Chain A
């Protein structure tokens, strides 16, 4: 049986209560809004992109503990990374939360491995990946809202 403690790890709870980079970004040159219609989670991601790398990032919005902590920790890890590096991270993160990740593949995920418990709770995968989908949309400079139901 899945254990709640695997899902709600202390680090996750802590980030959900005090999210990092939780602000609008005045210098943003890209932004996107992400929406999960199933639970009403909604986040905006602001990017300051310099030469295809994330110079600075911020986010705002509302959502469950998992989605908020995931957004918070994502903003920390992607700072300074290029778009290609972010894609690789997202791919690994996605495998992690969907339980397709062998231990060796968690390379580079660092603190994000606290989200491995999400794989025991399939209905929460979308919560964990909402910020990442939104970040991808922000890179593409998409103006429309990305929804977890179209991805």
Chain B
């Protein structure tokens, strides 16, 4: 998972960092203005990064600068600003291509986020390839956004949704998964990393298995791209989806990567301006990729902000980010395991940055309120993955999730906070 990030010459941030420079979390924290504040009289300990990440100053500045200096509509004006805005937007697309190591910029479609990316594929590729009696295969650890779009599709088409199970540690049962692949399977959709359990799925192997039967695979990478380098060509996935706001970029922007041969053959998702090359009332000719899938004025500032976020991550180095977070996860796993009556939910061998737990029979909501009083932000609930909760026979978990700016001291604060929870409920 931690192959060295490809450094593209197009990314200025990628050579800001001299080789061998140690990851300095103190310095990194200084890049995030929001972390400087106190909440409820305590320093903010932000451990809800799987929900959304905080934004470094360079991202905030890139968005401001765009509106202060470059704002115009893209791909249509011949004037100076429009040219500038178009160039900024397309530069962001090139950053995404390099970030995912896609073969071509035309394979990068800007969308609102992972949710829209998955819906796009379900409604275009899905609607043209899934028919009555066919099957869509997902896993039991998907986020609702990688369940419901397929359910809707299956209902509409008279197809059925198959679900590959996982074991008590939260590891996908690959044999069971393989057994569910068959001539009726028309598409596979799997999370790269589970948001509720932290499990890193063996997507390379999953894709191999599916491709042996010529079945395309969509990977939901919302919880993967923040934590380690992803190479869509090495994975050989057919579609890859992620959200900008979980990788230090703004909300309302995300990416769908798709292999160009598949994208080319797919009908458009939404219709309107920009996605056409000519319109008459008799016939409309669609624009070429990727614009065919980008109807209407896109979130230009969002794309620019996301570009800056990716540049920022590359500047730190994906390998160093992964190593830092791996250390945090190992440290936190050990520290939390030592607390009596804690049950970790999700103990897969391959994990990323997520620690879900329950504490005795104390409801996670109560844990969340008490930690909040200590300035510690975690998520409590079902994490939009109710089937995962059902699998473990629980209603909810408390979830701490880590980002590149978190520290061991913050995990110590979390542990202290949990001890306080136990005291209140003693």
Q: A residues bordering B, Cβ < 8 Å?
A: 1-2, 4, 7-8, 13, 38-42, 62-66, 68, 121, 123-124, 127
What number of A-B contacts does a CB cutoff of 8 Å give? 52
The residue that B380 contacts in the complex, of A2, A13, A39, A63, with Cβ under 8 A, is A39
Chain A residues, CB < 8 A from B373 = 2, 4
A-B contact pairs, 23 of them (CB 8 A): A2-B373, A4-B369, A4-B373, A4-B424, A7-B369, A8-B425, A13-B425, A38-B381, A39-B364, A40-B382, A41-B395, A42-B395, A62-B363, A62-B395, A63-B363, A63-B365, A64-B364, A64-B365, A65-B425, A66-B365, A123-B369, A124-B369, A127-B365
Most buried by B among A8, A13, A40: A40
Chain A residues, CB < 8 A from B114 = none
Chain B residues, CB < 8 A from A39 = 363-365, 380-381, 395-396
Closest to A124 in B: B369
Most buried by A among B363, B364, B424, B425: B363
Is there contact, CB below 8 Å, between A40 and B366?
no
Does B154 count as interface, using CB distance less than 8 angstroms?
no
Tell me the smallest distance from the CB of B240 to a CB of chain A, in Å: 30
Chain A residues, CB < 8 A from B395 = 39-42, 62-63
Given A39-B381, A62-B395, are A121 and B363 neighbors across the interface (CB < 8 Å)? no
15 additional A-B residue pairs with CB within 8 Å, beyond A13-B424, A62-B395: A1-B40, A2-B373, A4-B424, A7-B369, A8-B370, A38-B381, A39-B363, A39-B365, A40-B389, A40-B395, A63-B363, A64-B363, A65-B425, A121-B369, A123-B369
CA distance A7 to B380 in the complex (A): 18
Is there contact, CB below 8 Å, between A65 and B370?
no
Is there contact, CB below 8 Å, between A4 and B370?
yes
CA distance A123 to B370 in the complex (A): 13
CA distance A112 to B359 in the complex (A): 27
CA distance A127 to B41 in the complex (A): 25
CA distance A8 to B365 in the complex (A): 13
Chain A residues, CB < 8 A from B380 = 39
The residue that A8 contacts in the complex, of B40, B41, B364, B424, with Cβ under 8 A, is B424
Does B28 count as interface, using CB distance less than 8 angstroms?
no
Closest to B380 in A: A39
CA distance A78 to B285 in the complex (A): 68
Does B362 count as interface, using CB distance less than 8 angstroms?
yes
Most buried by A among B369, B381, B389, B425: B369
CA distance A7 to B366 in the complex (A): 10
CA distance A1 to B39 in the complex (A): 10
> Residues of B within 8 Å of A, CB-based: how many?
18
Please report which residues of chain B, range 23-62, place their CB below 8 angstroms from some CB of chain A when the two chains form the complex: 40-41
Closest to A39 in B: B365
CA distance A67 to B79 in the complex (A): 60
CA distance A13 to B363 in the complex (A): 12
Is there contact, CB below 8 Å, between B396 and A65?
no
Chain A residues, CB < 8 A from B396 = 39-40
Chain B residues, CB < 8 A from A123 = 369
| 7 nearest CB pairs, A to B | A64-B363, A64-B365, A40-B395, A39-B365, A40-B396, A65-B366, A64-B366
Chain B residues, CB < 8 A from A41 = 363, 365, 395
CA distance A122 to B370 in the complex (A): 14
Closest to A66 in B: B366
Is there contact, CB below 8 Å, between A40 and B381?
yes
Please report which residues of chain B, range 335-380, place their CB below 8 angstroms from some CB of chain A when the two chains form the complex: 362-366, 369-370, 373, 380
Chain B residues, CB < 8 A from A127 = 365
CA distance A73 to B40 in the complex (A): 30
CA distance A92 to B277 in the complex (A): 63
Closest to B382 in A: A40
CA distance A7 to B365 in the complex (A): 13
Tell me the smallest distance from the CB of B395 to a CB of chain A, in Å: 4
Chain B residues, CB < 8 A from A62 = 363, 395
Closest to B362 in A: A65
CA distance A38 to B365 in the complex (A): 10
Closest to B370 in A: A4
CA distance A127 to B395 in the complex (A): 15
Tell me the smallest distance from the CB of A149 to a CB of chain B, in Å: 13
CA distance A36 to B225 in the complex (A): 32
Is there contact, CB below 8 Å, between B424 and A1?
no
Chain A residues, CB < 8 A from B424 = 4, 8, 13
CA distance A64 to B381 in the complex (A): 11
CA distance A38 to B370 in the complex (A): 17
CA distance A39 to B362 in the complex (A): 13
Tell me the smallest distance from the CB of A132 to a CB of chain B, in Å: 18
Is there contact, CB below 8 Å, between B41 and A1?
yes
CA distance A41 to B365 in the complex (A): 9
Tell me the smallest distance from the CB of A131 to a CB of chain B, in Å: 15
Chain B residues, CB < 8 A from A124 = 365, 369
Is there contact, CB below 8 Å, between A65 and B363?
yes
Tell me the smallest distance from the CB of A33 to a CB of chain B, in Å: 14
CA distance A68 to B395 in the complex (A): 14
